[in-house]
Amino acid sequence: QVQLVESGGGLVQAGGSLRLSCAASTGTLRAYIMAWFRQAPGKERQFVATISRSGSNTDYADPVKGRFTISRDNAKNTVYLQMNSLKPEDTAVYYCAADLTLFPHSSQDEYDYWGQGTQVTVSS
Instruction: Please choose, from the candidates 59, 43, 62, the residue with its C-alpha nearest in 3D space to the C-alpha of residue 51.
Output: 59
Quote the pLDDT of residue 123.
Answer: 97
Quote the pLDDT of residue 1.
Answer: 87
pLDDT single digits (tens) 13-44: 999 999 999 999 888 999 999 999 999 999 99
Distance CA 29, CA 23 (A): 8
Task: Give percent above pLDDT 70 in the chain.
Answer: 100
pLDDT single digits (tens) 62-107: 999 999 999 999 999 999 999 999 999 999 999 999 999 889 899 9
The beta-strand segments (E) located in 61-124 are 68-73, 78-83, 92-99, 113-114, 118-123
Q: Other CB atoms closer than 10 Å to residue 94's CB: what's the count?
A: 23
Quote the pLDDT of residue 101.
Answer: 87
Quote the pLDDT of residue 2.
Answer: 93
At residue 111, does pLDDT exceed 90? yes
pLDDT single digits (tens) 40-56: 999 999 999 999 999 99
* CB-based contacts of 119, cutoff 8 Å, min separation 6: 9, 10, 93, 94
Distance CA 124, CA 121 (A): 10
